[in-house]
Amino acid sequence: MIGKPNLSSEIVDDSEIKWPVDIKEPPALELALEPALSQRITCSYKTVRLGDIPDELSKRLNEICNIAFDQGDIPYIGSFPTDTFVSVATELSTNIAWGLALAQIKTYDVDPNYVSPDQFNIHSIAVHPDARKNGLCKGLVKTLVSSCLSENPNAPMHLNVRVSKADPNIGGIKCYKKNGFRFVGVPPTEKSDRPNFFMVRESKKPSIPSRRPNKPSVEMAPRGRKTSPKQPDMALSPVVKAKTRKKKRKSRKKRKSRKKGKSRKHR
């Protein structure tokens, strides 16, 4: 026989319950108790010429590039011309550099009626691993773009970004799009970090003049009549004038006869 359920409310002492020893707290609580791996870094941004950078800062920037690009200990910064633009991210509290971006202006022997001879190549955007996820890429590119526009507002800018299917540079692509860059549908370039596509930021003030010829002025004719472009007045001989008058009279007679024929048909 099945007994009735006990509906009486009884207070149970938690101390009498024996909890299993192997119960663990949720992983989220364990992660919350751990200290943060990196602190928030607030930086200021400035663009200078590569030749104007002090030796100590140049060594620091070279170290950042070697770590970010995993290319060993090489004099990377010194391989570029001294007039190269360098955007530097420096921490406000400690005055330590944490990132950089380079831009080189190149002049090509092309017809300026079709494309701009001056082009800015933005490259070597590097952020130290300890300072990532602090918005440094956006600040570096924004400052560098502003400096390039001040130098030459008519020169477009381009860069390469990794777009491989296995490991695309999603953070970099978002950063570049926010600064006005867009993808160009041309074949990618093969680099050490797999295929790289071109992204372009076109100039807002195009310097390419238009070669379209001016259209000849055409006088507006009444509805139903065709006209040709206005021609300059020419001195006509009396014989030619007489012939033109005859042609005009014949055309008027033809129009009148056509009108009469139409009116008779309606009757």
The C-alpha atoms of residue 156 and residue 176 are separated, in whole angstroms, by 14
Backbone angles phi, psi at 166, to 5 degrees: -80, -35
Q: pTM here?
A: 0.62
Instruction: Indicate the SS3 state at residue 194.
Output: strand
Q: Token pair for residue 234?
A: 């020419």
- Domains of the chain in start order, with CATH, are 43-159 (3.40.630.30)
What is the Rg, in whole angstroms, of the alpha carbon atoms belonging to the chain? Answer: 39
- Spell out the residues 6+ positions from residue 249 whose beta carbon is closer than 8 angstroms to its own: none
Please list the pLDDT of the chain residue by residue as tens digits (267 residues). Answer: 444 444 443 444 444 544 444 444 433 333 232 333 456 899 999 999 999 999 999 999 999 999 999 888 999 999 999 999 999 999 999 999 999 999 999 999 999 999 899 999 999 999 999 999 999 999 999 999 999 999 999 999 999 999 988 889 999 999 999 999 999 988 888 887 788 999 999 986 554 455 555 555 555 555 555 555 555 555 567 777 788 888 888 888 888 887 777 666 555
Give the DSSP letter of residue 216: P
